């Protein structure tokens, strides 16, 4: 007879913590209405490494596009210092308390890369600033675009950030010496809010299809719930086509040249989103080539996917850092706050500057344009 008493107690603790989280989700209310705000405060956090260089230029382009709104007092860009690794290490926190207080006054945040210490670094082992921000602001959706025009690819991925296999990934149980159990989590509210975000994005941006990715044929309770809620919600959007795929075949179809051009918007639980977005990013040059968003009902944070590249700073090359990932994050930011036309202008300017005309090229060194020169180039094409 096996003794599973401690495992059962642990399982109960996990369940109760998730039920408490569910209560917090229910209390959140609706998504923020940006048009109802007297002033939209957009926080600009430079981060560290090359972050300040590329974020400064991205904010300059953003200010150019929102010039009328800023002059009318409808939008305010708020510079937020204090996310450098030096300041975070001195405070012993991923995000210092005073910095978090300012961040929480800004429903929208444009954030540069931040350093997360690893073994051998001269910094204390503090948590990732990104992870801390997602938790504190309940940024439940990770949103990533992948676009390769010459291949007919224009995808937008909505990956659930707070449930699935990652929600309690560190809370698995070693039941006996020979048996280990992990957990995957799905709630109605968690599934509904990520699906709603995907459908609303499709509706507001002229997208025609939303595809749900699960493994509901095998993982029937949690993935089955996600898929059922997806199709229930689809009834509210009769003008949008819907379909669903299992994660294993979906990874194959992304490399199917005939099939992949038919996909548009994707929505999926956490683990599958992690897999697919990394695979998809390879088509446009790797995970460091695009912007990314972390979205919640009350807050949204837009950032580059790549790291802070401290070596470039050490070598004096931060002024040559490529700002395109941050500029693509600005495109997503503008879409999120309802400025689709302005987002389209910036997206088009980036296509011209990076793929069509290429009058200036970023090399990361003095053989190419500086970050500021490239930002000027983009502004000239708006």
Is residue 339 within 8 A of residue 65, CB to CB? The reply is: yes
Between 64 and 292, name the one with better pLDDT: 64
Does domain 31-139+296-382 fall under CATH 3.40.30.10? My reply is no
Mean pLDDT of 237-244: 98
CA pair distance 300, 94, nearest whole angstrom:
18
CA distance 218 to 228: 14
Buried b (16+ CB within 10 A) or exposed e, 223-233: bbbbbebbeeb
CA-wise closest residue to 166 among 94, 274, 304:
274
Domain 1-27+145-286: give its CATH superfamily: Isopropylmalate Dehydrogenase (3.40.718.10)
Domain 31-139+296-382 in the same topology as domain 1-27+145-286: yes
CA nearest neighbour of 249 among 227, 223, 275? 275
Domain segments of the chain as ranges: 1-27+145-286, 31-139+296-382
* Cα-only R_g, the chain: 21
Answer whether residue 120 shows pLDDT above 90.
no
Helices (H), ranges, the chain: 5-26, 51-65, 67-71, 85-91, 97-103, 129-137, 188-204, 222-234, 247-253, 270-281, 310-314, 324-336, 340-351, 371-380
Biggest alpha carbon distance in the chain? 75
Summary mean pLDDT of the chain: 92
| Model confidence pLDDT, tens digit, residues 325-381 | 999 999 999 999 999 999 999 999 998 998 889 999 999 999 999 999 999 999 999
199-205: Cβ within 8 A, 24+ apart: 199/233, 199/234, 199/236, 199/237, 199/240, 201/143, 201/156, 201/158, 201/265, 201/335, 202/237, 202/240, 202/264, 202/265, 203/237, 203/239, 203/240, 204/335, 204/338, 204/340, 205/335, 205/340
Q: What pTM was estimated for this model as a whole?
A: 0.84
Residue 288 has pLDDT above 60, yes or no: no
Question: How crowded is residue 147: how many other Cβ atoms within 10 Å of its Cβ?
Answer: 19
Please give the average per-residue pLDDT across 159-167, as a whole number: 87
Distance CA 141, CA 161 (A): 5
């Amino acid at each position: 007879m096996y003794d599973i008493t401690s495992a059962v107690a642990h399982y109960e603790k996990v369940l109760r913590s998730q039920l408490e989280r569910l209560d917090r989700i229910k209390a959140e209310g609706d998504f923020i209405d940006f048009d109802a705000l007297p002033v939209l405060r957009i926080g600009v956090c430079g981060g560290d490494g090359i972050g300040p260089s590329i974020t400064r230029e991205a904010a300059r382009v953003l200010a150019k596009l929102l010039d009328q709104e800023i002059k009318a007092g409808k939008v305010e860009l708020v510079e937020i210092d204090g996310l450098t690794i030096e300041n975070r290490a001195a405070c012993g926190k991923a995000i210092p308390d005073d910095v978090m207080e300012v961040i929480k006054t800004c429903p929208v945040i444009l954030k540069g890369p931040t350093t997360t210490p690893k073994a051998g670094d001269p910094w204390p082992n503090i948590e990732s600033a990104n992870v801390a921000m997602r938790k504190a602001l309940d940024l439940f959706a990770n949103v990533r675009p992948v676009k390769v025009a010459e291949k007919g690819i224009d995808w937008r991925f909505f990956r659930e950030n707070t449930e699935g296999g990652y929600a309690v990934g560190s809370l698995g149980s070693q039941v006996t010496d020979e048996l280990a159990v992990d957990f995957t989590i799905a709630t109605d509210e968690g599934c509904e809010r990520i699906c709603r975000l995907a459908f609303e994005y499709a509706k507001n941006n002229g997208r025609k299809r939303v595809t749900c990715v699960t493994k509901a044929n095998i993982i029937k309770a949690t993935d089955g719930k996600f898929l059922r809620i997806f199709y229930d919600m689809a009834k509210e959007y009769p003008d949008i086509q819907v379909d669903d795929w299992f994660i294993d075949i979906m990874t194959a179809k992304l490399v199917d040249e005939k099939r992949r051009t038919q996909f548009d918007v994707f929505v999926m639980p956490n683990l599958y989103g992690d897999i697919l977005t990394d695979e998809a990013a390879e088509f446009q040059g790797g995970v460091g080539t695009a912007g990314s968003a972390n979205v919640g009902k009350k807050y949204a944070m837009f950032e580059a996917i790549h790291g802070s590249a401290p070596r470039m700073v050490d070598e004096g090359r931060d002024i040559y850092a490529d700002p395109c990932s941050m500029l693509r994050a600005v495109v997503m930011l503008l879409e999120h706050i309802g400025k689709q036309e302005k987002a389209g202008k910036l997206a088009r300017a980036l296509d011209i500057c990076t793929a069509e005309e290429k009058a200036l090229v970023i090399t990361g060194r003095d053989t190419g344009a500086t970050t500021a020169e490239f930002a000027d180039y983009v502004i000239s094409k708006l």
